[in-house]
Structure 1
């Protein structure tokens, strides 16, 4: 149980916070990434608590969260950052989709730059009016759309 609690924050971030809709593109979420959860995670990036998330807030949030992914401090999110019992998950499901989305140089790991400056598919999906601000109403509409799919 202790290992599960330790693993949960890192995997939640790795699997949900940023790389949500990966391969499917900005208009259709990938089931591998649990799009509804990604919309919920967008709320954490609203650092000024004004009820809207700017792209700048989202990217700043990624910078702040990077150390939770790069657990060994080598500058990359890789299989080495997963606890031993979870290393077999590296080549399955969500983590594969995450690498396909963020590992732009295809070296099998995600660098800090690839993570902090990478695609923002959940944000792009939620920002329906393309004003670079995601409001609570847009998040709710995106979640409703995901539930219909």
Structure 2
């Protein structure tokens, strides 16, 4: 039986790391009804606590490694120190996806794994923006500030509540921005040489 080593499994699981769950713009707000600024702040605190896996008061690479280790331990059903292809597939099916894909995971048209909302790297970019002092870690204050900044941007009429319509408008604006950035990045790539 072919076994995956810890490092291979960890690399495979990187797509479900902290960045993927981190920062959907109005994602810290209620999916259905209105959300107040205080509710958004409370959800940001809860999300920070969840992402601060090792409880040291900041989100950094150590938390990402701890999350991967926990995921590996859950997948290693027989506790052998390695994850077999069967264990990996079983973990994916348990999460609701076929063939070892995690629930909510998508693939791009090129087959790349993408986050639940279909972004590659969007969460990581937002994490970097939240790290205002550029120390490689996000403190609770930085996390809260970034979350409330996104809330305030979504609160179009500045009444302290984000409605479903405002949330959709913010989501659409973010989607358009990501598409524009992707198009600019594609335009900057050098053209492939013509083949005869």
TM-score by length of 1: 0.58
* Deviation at residue 58 of structure 1 after TM alignment: 0.7
Alpha carbons of structure 1 residues 84 and 43: separation in structure 2 relative to 1, 3 Å: closer
- Larger Cα-atom Rg: 2
Aligned pair 1:126/2:154, yes or no? yes
RMSD: 3.4
Query: Aligned partners of 2:67, 2:54: CA distance in 1, in Å?
Result: 16
Alpha carbons of structure 1 residues 53 and 79: separation in structure 2 relative to 1, 3 Å: same
**1:17-67 CA distances to partner (integer Å, 9 max, x unpaired)?**
4xxxxxxxxxxxxxxxxxxxx33x1434x7xx7x21111111111111122
Contact 1:69 1:81 in 2 (8 A): yes
Structure 1 residues 20-99: aligned runs within 5 Å: 38-39=25-26, 41-44=27-30, 51-83=33-65, 94-99=123-128
Alpha carbons of structure 1 residues 69 and 42: separation in structure 2 relative to 1, 3 Å: closer
User: Which segments of structure 1 move beyond 4 Å, counting only runs of 4 or more?
Assistant: 2-7, 146-149
User: 1:25 corresponds to which residue?
Assistant: none
- Higher RCO (C-alpha under 8 Å, 6+ residues apart): 1
- Gaps (5+ residues) in structure 2? 1-8, 69-120, 178-196
* Deviation at residue 71 of structure 1 after TM alignment: 0.9
* Deviation at residue 120 of structure 1 after TM alignment: 2.8
- Gaps (5+ residues) in structure 1? 18-37, 87-91
Alpha carbons of structure 1 residues 142 and 71: separation in structure 2 relative to 1, 3 Å: same
- Which protein is richer in helix relative to its size? 1
Count of residue pairs brought into register by the alignment: 116
* Deviation at residue 141 of structure 1 after TM alignment: 2.4
Contact 1:70 1:77 in 2 (8 A): yes
User: 1:105 corresponds to which residue?
Assistant: 133
